[in-house]
Amino acid sequence: MMRHSTTHHPSLSPDDAPAARRNAGAFAQTLAKSRETTLFVVLLLIVGGTALARPQFLNLQNLRDVLLNVSIVSLLTAGMTIVILMRHIDLSVGSTVGISAYAVGSLYVAFPHMPVVVALGAGLAIGLVAGSINALLVAVGRVPSLVATLSTLYIFRGADYAWVRGGQINATSLPDAFSRLASATVLGIPVLALIAIVLLTALSVYLKQFRPGREYYAIGSNPEAARLAGINVNRRVATGFLICGGIAGLAGALWLARFGTVESSTAKGIELQVVAAAVVGSVAITGGVGTILGATLGALVLGVISIALVVLHVSPFWEQAIQGALIVAAIAVDTLLARSVAKRMMRKRDHG
């Protein structure tokens, strides 16, 4: 009887260690699924800590600035997320934003009474042209996306410099109806932020509920298996770059409405902030993992940190250091979680 009780008593079972490992694996899996919740908690901690140090941080103007700034970055991050899901990257988004913003401004100089919808459509069209060039290079030419988009980053920016030639578009050249995209509010929420919310929601539904959206995850998880499953990988990759480019072009038009003044260096370097927001927002750089919600929260975290550093009178040089640290932390967490899940699956297979 003593032998029988020893065998089944939980505290003395020889399976305690494997059970503990299984619990750890389950915890890791749960944590992986709740990365958005973790990011939201981090966001609240940053806001709360800054508010305790500087109570003036929680004012309507700062909140409005965060929403306006993050609206554009979050749109770019959503487009980047689609590309990263397939194990690719688009470093040309900043240059696309710059040339699109200046092009839309130039159209308003030539046609002052142009409707706002036409202006936004023009920005979208310019972005689609840029995205199609990237799509041809990567999907058809089989050029690695890092090399292809690094090249188009310089090509688009160089074309922008050649076109602008030291000039700029000022807010006085823009009609009030277009400028109100950034200044007007609905129920206290800036119209620009509402546009971003609608587009982000649509992209999130597209990725989760529609077959083409699910195919991005399949390609990122295992490209060869995706091909064997009948997915047209090249077409889906091309579509991803078109979406990313189109969003960047639209973001350029919204950038013009937000800041009013654009020049040849507009949005220069923003691609690094976009990649940082995606990675911090739990979008795995190795592909196949990530959500629009997580990417948006990553953009929010970085945006709030930027405003908080200004309020706390901290040198802006620390912003890049903090972004780098967050990227390293996010990649480290993803690596640890991936290893934990892989070990758990191997133990299940061996046990089976």
| pLDDT for position 7 | 43
- Residue 277 belongs to some domain of the structure: yes
- Residue 73 belongs to some domain of the structure: yes
Query: What integer is the mean pLDDT of 170-174?
Result: 91
Distance, CA of 285 to CA of 81 (rounded, Å): 9
| pLDDT for position 4 | 44
Query: What integer is the mean pLDDT of 87-97?
Result: 97
| pLDDT for position 33 | 53
- Residue 307 belongs to some domain of the structure: yes
Domain count, the chain: 1
Q: Tokens 């310089």 appear where? A: 154
- Residue 12 belongs to some domain of the structure: no
- Residue 29 belongs to some domain of the structure: no
Of 38-47, 86-95, 196-205, 254-263, the least confident: 38-47
| pLDDT for position 10 | 45
Task: Provide the CATH number for the domain around residue 219.
Answer: 1.10.3470
Of 20-29, 100-109, 178-187, 228-237, the least confident: 20-29
How many CA atoms are closer than 13 Å to the CA of 92, on its beta-carbon side? 38
pLDDT digits (tens, 9 = 90+) for 229-262: 999 999 999 999 999 999 999 999 999 999 999 9
Domain that includes residue 316, residue range = 37-338
Count other C-beta atoms under 10 Å from residue 277's C-beta.
31
- Residue 223 belongs to some domain of the structure: yes
User: Mean pLDDT, the chain, as a whole number?
Assistant: 87
pTM of the entire structure? 0.85
Task: Read off the pLDDT band of 329 (50, 70, 90).
Answer: confident
| pLDDT for position 39 | 86
pLDDT digits (tens, 9 = 90+) for 68-79: 889 999 999 999
| pLDDT for position 63 | 84
- Residue 2 belongs to some domain of the structure: no
Query: What does the radius of gyration of the chain's CA atoms come to, in whole angstroms?
Result: 23
- Residue 26 belongs to some domain of the structure: no
How many CA atoms are closer than 13 Å to the CA of 71, on its beta-carbon side? 28
pLDDT digits (tens, 9 = 90+) for 194-228: 999 999 999 999 999 999 999 999 999 999 999 99
Query: What integer is the mean pLDDT of 177-190?
Result: 90
Distance, CA of 51 to CA of 45 (rounded, Å): 10
